[in-house]
A = this chain, B = another copy of it.
């Protein structure tokens, strides 16, 4: 029952998987080694960094990443513990939070972003 079409699909899928894992793995290892944060932490940092206006952001973050709401919450926990980000309560809606980079967070982000972009370029051609 395995049609040629099927084989093509499977091949295409394996190649996507490989390039995804290769790229994600390379970035993750590099960031871990040089900046002591993982890929997901960086992604959140990166999202916060490029939405510099202060909206109520936890929620918005969840919509810009494939991560679960609860995953985002835990990533932010770690970032906060590491002193890179701080949670600000939101006056309009006291259930919401928005995030701010600390000085340290801003500094780390700008170095890490260079590395991140370089590895993307290298892996995505």
Contact = CB atoms under 8 A, between A and B. Distances in A.
Q: How many copies does the complex hold?
A: 2
Interface stretch (A5-13, A29-37, A96-104): A5-13
B66 A13 contact: no
Contact of A120 (B2, B9, B19, B114): B9
Q: What is the predominant secondary structure among interface residues of chain A facing chain B?
A: helix
Contacts of A91: none
A1 B121 contact: no
Contact of A16 (B6, B13, B19): B19
A10 to B, nearest CB: 7
Nearest to A6: B117
Nearest to A120: B9
A86 interface: no
Contacts of A6: 113, 117
Nearest to A17: B66
A21 B43 CA distance: 15
A67 to B, nearest CB: 9
A10 B66 contact: no
